[in-house]
Homo-oligomer: A and B are copies of this chain.
Amino acid sequence: MRRDVFQAIADPTRREIINLIAFQSLNLNAIADHFDVSRPAISQHIKILNECGLLNIRQDGRERFCEIKFDRLKEVANWIAQYQAFWNSKLDDLERHLANK
């Protein structure tokens, strides 16, 4: 059972959960309301996101509020950035080439 960020964000439902809690923390039921799948299914997704360090759970009475943790997403950002640097430089080359025509 792999538990890394890339695996975590591979699932569209989990990406949507991330999107939901990115700008406001929500409790589990509030999150589950946004989806067609059952509440336990969402609970399991949140467990995975938690294990991957993508969110934090703040217990408040019987409610559990999910707060985004961006740090792990930076791993993805860094992985992409190395190629981004390359495709940008290739774009620069192209622009220079066009400018010199």
* Copies of the chain in the assembly: 2
Chain A residues bordering chain B, tally (CB within 8 A)? 23
- B77-A84 in contact (CB<8A): yes
- A79-B6 in contact (CB<8A): no
A68 CB, nearest partner CB in chain B, Å: 8
- B79-A15 in contact (CB<8A): yes
Asked if A32 CB lies within 8 Å of chain B CBs, one says no
- B6-A15 in contact (CB<8A): yes
Residues of B within 8 A of A12 (CB): 4, 6
A41 CB, nearest partner CB in chain B, Å: 17
Asked if A35 CB lies within 8 Å of chain B CBs, one says no
Q: Which of A76-96 contact B (CB under 8 A)?
A: 76-77, 79-80, 82-84, 86-87
From B4, B10, B18, B86, give the contact of A23 (CB < 8 A).
Answer: B86
Residues of A participating in the B interface, judged by any CB pair closer than 8 Å: 4, 6-7, 9-10, 12, 15, 18, 22-23, 68, 70, 73-74, 76-77, 79-80, 82-84, 86-87
